[in-house]
Structures are given as C-alpha cells and as structure tokens.
Homo-oligomer: A and B are copies of this chain.
C-alpha cells in the first residue's frame, strides 16, 4: 500500500535528521525532531505510528527517552524503499539536468541515473558524472533495452511538451517534470511537477507571515 505523499515527505526529513546524529546518540525524542522542523510534536508521533503500523514489529523506543535512532532509521529506509534502486533517465543535459546528474545524494535514496539525453550535438557523447549523454532519438531504444520507465525532464520550457510527447511515445510512463510547462500527456503517463517557482513563492509568502511553520508544505 502506498504511503500518503505528505508522510513520505516528512519521513524523509526525519531521516535527514537521524542521518546527521553522531554514533553515540542512541535515542531521539519526537520533541527534538518536531522542534528542528518547527512542526507539531503530535505530527511526528503520528507519522512514526503510521510507519510502525506497517511493520509487524514496532519501532523500538524507551519511555521518556525516545525512539531508537538506528532502528527508526532502518524502518524509514525499508518502508520508503531506499535500497530498491529506481533507474531513471535525465532528459535535457543543460544546467539543471547536469546538476541533478551530479547530485550524489540521490544515490543514497535509491535514485540511479542510468543515462542522459539531449539533442545538442555538442553535448551528445559527453559524460557527466559517469552518465553518458545520448542523442534524444535513442530514448525509445534504451527504454526498451534497459527497461526504464521514469524520466527527469529538464529541457527548456519551449521543448517540454514536444519532448514529453516523444517520451510518452517511447514507453516512458513516469515523468518528473522540472520545467515550468504543464504537460499534456496520455492517461497512462504520470507526471510529478517539481514546482520550484511555487516553492520560491511559498518561501517568500512565508516572509510575510511570521507565525508560519518551517516545513509548512506539510
């Protein structure tokens, strides 16, 4: 069963916190997590309870001491599937595409960039952080050969819809869309819009509201 998106988002943030703790910190309280994220304590407890319920054995904890760091970390990793590698293509080897190809943190969370694609002859054949850039016309062939269904779309806005059509026709089923174009795709293709502009506007919208929470996307 899928986990609600907001819970996935928060569990990832909790994992960042756990990952930063030193070896000798064995327990962490929900209060500490909540305080770092500026969210409600009860929200943290609810999310961890949700995680707990998906396992037969619960998350180890000690009364008034908190959650066992190692155990909670492992459960989040297991539940969110950090160990199950998900292969993706990056389509668009420009600035953002290249930065994402070089973003090594992705690997720790199961994201594996297999190859990149572009239509610029100067970029085709180059290798970015170990990922070769192929001619976009090779997508269909490589989708079949490598059984890849997901693509990160980082082409310039004016090419976004055309490229999405092409990806859909090539067998790509999931598009993580970093462009500011809303894609009109066939029903069997799912799009996840990474809305950086919206994030920025929420961030600055925050500036006006002092009482707003740190992680108020959730």
Check: A40 CB closer than 8 A to any chain B CB: no
Q: Flag if A198 contacts B9 (CB, 8 Å).
A: yes
Q: A9-B198, A12-B201, A199-B194 are in contact. Are A96 and B103 (CB under 8 A)?
A: yes
A3 CB contacts on chain B under 8 angstroms: 205
Interface positions of A from 91 to 110, Cβ below 8 Å from B = 95-96, 98-99, 102-103, 105-106, 109-110
**Stretch of A51-59, A117-125, A180-188 lying at the B interface:** A180-188
A71 CB contacts on chain B under 8 angstroms: none
From B8, B19, B81, B149, give the contact of A198 (CB < 8 A). Answer: B8
Copies in the complex: 2
Q: A5-B216, A5-B217 are in contact. Are A12 and B192 (CB under 8 A)?
A: no
Q: Flag if A200 contacts B111 (CB, 8 Å).
A: yes
Check: A80 CB closer than 8 A to any chain B CB: yes
Interface residues on A, range: 35 or more
Check: A29 CB closer than 8 A to any chain B CB: no
Interface flags, A171-190, vs B, CB<8A=1, else 0: 00110100011111000001
Q: Flag if B193 contacts A215 (CB, 8 Å).
A: yes
Q: Flag if B105 contacts A157 (CB, 8 Å).
A: yes
What are 7 inter-chain pairs, A to B, with CB distance below 8 A? A20-B181, A20-B182, A86-B207, A98-B99, A192-B199, A192-B206, A217-B217
